[in-house]
């Protein structure tokens, strides 16, 4: 659950901006878009494998530093 601490001096625009930023950081928007349509199990598995390959590539690239 996302919580935004309010101060008396904060404007509504500033609070909304912080809220949107928090939503993006936690991946809520991405999850909503992903759940909008049914995804077959094979497509889910393919997507997860692709993400795992990408993360392994990044880990290997930064391990050499």
d(CA 40, CA 44): 6
d(CA 31, CA 1): 14
Predicted local confidence at residue 65, as pLDDT: 65
Global model pTM greater than 0.75:
no
Tokens of 35: 């759940």
Residue 50 lies in a domain: yes
Supply the range of the domain harboring residue 51.
39-65
- Structural domain total, the chain: 1
Residue 32 lies in a domain: no
Averaged pLDDT score across all residues of the chain: 92
Residue 28 lies in a domain: no
d(CA 25, CA 31): 12
| Four-CA torsion 13, 19, 23, 24, nearest 10 degrees | 50
Which pLDDT tens digit goes with each residue over 22-32? 999 999 998 99
The answer to whether 23 and 38 have CB atoms below 8 angstroms apart is no
Low-confidence ranges of the chain (pLDDT < 50): none
């Amino acid at each position: 659950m996302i919580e935004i601490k309010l101060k008396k001096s904060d404007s509504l625009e500033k609070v909304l901006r912080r809220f949107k930023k928090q939503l993006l950081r936690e991946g809520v928007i991405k999850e909503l878009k992903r759940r909008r349509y049914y995804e077959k199990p094979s497509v889910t598995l393919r997507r997860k494998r692709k993400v795992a390959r990408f993360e392994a590539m990044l880990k290997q690239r930064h391990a050499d530093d």
